[in-house]
Structure 1
Amino acid sequence: MKQIFDQHRRRFFGVAAGTVAVGLGVIELARAESESPQPSVTNASFGALKQIDAGVLNVGYAEMGPAGGPVAILLHGWPYDIYAFVDVAPILAQAGYRVIVPYLRGYGTTRFLSGETPRNGEPAAMAVDIIALMDALNIRKAVVAGFDWGARTADIIAALWPERCQALVSVSGYLISSQAAGSAPLPPQAELQWWYQFYFATERGRIGYEKYTHDFAKLIWKLASPQWKFDDATFDRSAAAFDNKDHVAIVIHNYRWRLGLAQGEPKYEHVEKRLAAAPVIDVPTITLEGDANGAPHPDVSAYAKKFSGHYEHRLITGGIGHNLPQEAPKAFAKAVVDADRA
């Protein structure tokens, strides 16, 4: 039975009364409370990253937790990187999870294996990348969780490859769309929120993003999370991921594709056709929203019926913006565990 759970009405303080069953035993997990914005730098690093060939990419990723534990794959968005999960991953690892946090194509240490591969940012390609990563790592099934581009990628995996998805955690809910849906005009106020999408549609915008990548990303961070008091060290740690030589091309293609101004690759057409039908997601799902999300996002009423299995929605309070896992890591980690248990 579906349940729309408003976390604003409940407050979790202290430790959980119960215990969480995971593959390696029964481990107590502290309950996530409604959180204030986190200190800018808590865990400084994931430590040494790993690399693996997967599909068309050599993927850079962080890994934490026991090799034999249930798997959680955490997916970042734009303009963010794996450090959005630097405080989430240790919580899940301590709870017995094998945590995989990959750089998406165009970010960090992830590279294309061939210079001939199109620098394609369409949603289907990113989802196929993660399925290829799971295959390369011999991961049959995982809890898939993300925000922004990462949430969209997680949604697609849950919708089209449910046999690979143990459960789903998605910030801002159901983000599957299509070029046809993207062609429909929105009310002026809503269009205003997508200003950068129209900027990127121009050659001026491509050149501007290439020239001012870090300044642009920092502006988006501030607009999307207006109450998050991150410092320069926190931003700079993530901004290094944008120095990837394919970053600009991937970002520009992603937003132009959404507006129908750029084509995808023929090999992904069958995936995009299935996504254009807005498939229902039936794996156990928890959607999250921050109470101070300054980025464009749908209201829960617009997407709640797209989830046909066990479903909860949680509003995370305390001035939490778009980068929810970094701003409220306990709440995000708790959602991963709870979705897995559903």
Structure 2
Amino acid sequence: MAAASPAEWLSSSPATAAPSGREASTAGRATGRTSFESLKQVKAGELNIGYAEVGPAKGPVVVLLHGWPYDIHSYVDVAPLLAAEGYRVIVPYLRGYGTTTFRSAKTFRNGQQAVVALDIIALLDALRIEKALLGGFDWGARTADIIAALWPGRCKALVSVTGYLITNREKNKQPLPPAAELAWWYQYYFATERGELGLAQYGHDFAKLIWRNVSPTCHFDDATFDRTAKAFENPDYVSIVIHNYRWRLGLAAGDPRYDGSETKLAAGPAIAVPTITLDGELDPFTPAGDGSAYRAKFTGPYDHRALEGIGHNVPQEAPEAFAQAVLDADRL
């Protein structure tokens, strides 16, 4: 029997059979058998950004954004599926990860939410891309949400795992129920000097523990994890991660240059671009329910999908479902 084409694979996959609602997915997709052929570098704003690019140079652009503790390889199986559909897929390392480096040793190693979004705007500018479809999870979803909210002219459509993730630091001061707080144990650890030293000394084991806890059915092998863990060898990794989590809790100051953007984000701006939100059923950070907790934040064409048996790292655990969401968001 001949192998199915990527388009046939997407259209026939059980993870993408239904256009909305709860969907079945196959866990344990992370095998370590694939990689990006090569990386590119481009000077963009404060950074020299490393990124993978797959697909036709003149195709419609999709930018896929990773989170912590992950890297571009969360999309290593998503990117070729989209490229086969004619998309130009760009997957950048965020600041502090992989081959993305600061252009000046004097630049503040800032991890606040607005500056990470502005990094991606700078990347689009450097690549002369006016508008792109954005997809992300974890830090990547927050970054994509921010661009869609504040700079909607740069975002054609949005795929956001765990829905609306824009941070309101005042609300963050309010405690959550104990079970919900438990999932965030590491951000409190990072608030301490001990936690910063722990991340620096045990970064590899730390990330591996997080992977296992937040993606309990994803049976990744050592090669798959080690491929991503190389991104944590970036000299600014610890500084960016620690500042990001301390900033969220109001324990570290941001850069005053971005106070205007942060004031707008604190107001919880609505997102009007076409959006599909995804939730992994086993993701400890997913709000209970069917996306109703954040539904009102999306005022444009919208769909929500819950993925059965999937944890936090949705694109790596369910690449077909994620790729299908990108295709469908573009058609909304």
TM-score interval for Structure 1 and Structure 2 normalised by the shorter chain? over 0.9
Partner of 2:304: 313
Q: Are 1:217 and 2:207 matched, yes or no?
A: yes
Aligned to 2:14, what secondary structure does the other structure show? coil
Partner Cα separation in structure 1 for residue 213 and residue 310 of structure 2: 12
Partner of 1:165: 155
- Pick from 73, 79, 84 the counterpart of residue 83 of structure 1: 73
Matches within 5 A, 1:227-306: 227-294=217-284, 296-299=285-288, 300-306=291-297
Unaligned 5+ runs, structure 1: 1-14, 21-26
Q: TM-score, normalised by structure 1?
A: 0.90
Q: Is the 8 A contact 1:43 1:86 kept in 2?
A: no
Partner Cα separation in structure 2 for residue 151 and residue 309 of structure 1: 17
Amino acid at match of 2:287: P
Q: Is the 8 A contact 2:130 2:154 kept in 1?
A: yes
Partner Cα separation in structure 1 for residue 64 and residue 139 of structure 2: 11
Aligned residues: 319
Q: Is the 8 A contact 1:127 1:157 kept in 2?
A: yes
Q: Give the superposition deviation at 1:30.
A: 2.5
Q: Is the 8 A contact 2:53 2:88 kept in 1?
A: yes
Instruction: After superposition, give the CA deviation of every residue in 1:122-173 in whole Å (9 maximum; x if it has no partner).
Output: 0001000000000000000010000000000000010001000000000000
Partner of 1:30: 11
- When residues 28 and 163 of structure 1 are mapped into structure 2, their CA distance, relative to the original with a 3 A threshold, is farther
Instruction: After superposition, give the CA deviation of every residue in 1:50-97 in whole Å (9 maximum; x if it has no partner).
Output: 000000000000001011100000000000000000000000000000
Partner of 2:193: 203
Q: Give the superposition deviation at 1:286.
A: 0.1
User: 175-184 or 125-134, which moves further after superposition?
Assistant: 175-184
- When residues 326 and 29 of structure 1 are mapped into structure 2, their CA distance, relative to the original with a 3 A threshold, is closer
- When residues 38 and 228 of structure 1 are mapped into structure 2, their CA distance, relative to the original with a 3 A threshold, is closer
Partner Cα separation in structure 1 for residue 209 and residue 113 of structure 2: 24
Q: Is the 8 A contact 1:140 1:164 kept in 2?
A: yes
Q: TM-score, normalised by structure 2?
A: 0.93
Partner of 1:51: 41
Instruction: After superposition, give the CA deviation of every residue in 1:162-219 in whole Å (9 maximum; x if it has no partner).
Output: 0000000000000012221211121222222211111000000000110000000000
User: 54-63 or 298-307, which moves further after superposition?
Assistant: 298-307
Q: Is the 8 A contact 1:76 1:84 kept in 2?
A: yes
Partner Cα separation in structure 1 for residue 30 and residue 182 of structure 2: 29
Aligned to 1:152, what secondary structure does the other structure show? helix
Q: Give the superposition deviation at 1:293.
A: 1.3
Amino acid at match of 1:334: Q
Q: Give the superposition deviation at 1:104.
A: 0.1
Structure 1 vs Structure 2 CA RMSD: 1.8
Q: Give the superposition deviation at 1:31.
A: 4.2
Percent sequence identity is 63
Unaligned 5+ runs, structure 2: 16-24
Q: Is the 8 A contact 2:30 2:316 kept in 1?
A: no
- Pick from 115, 120, 123 the counterpart of residue 113 of structure 2: 123
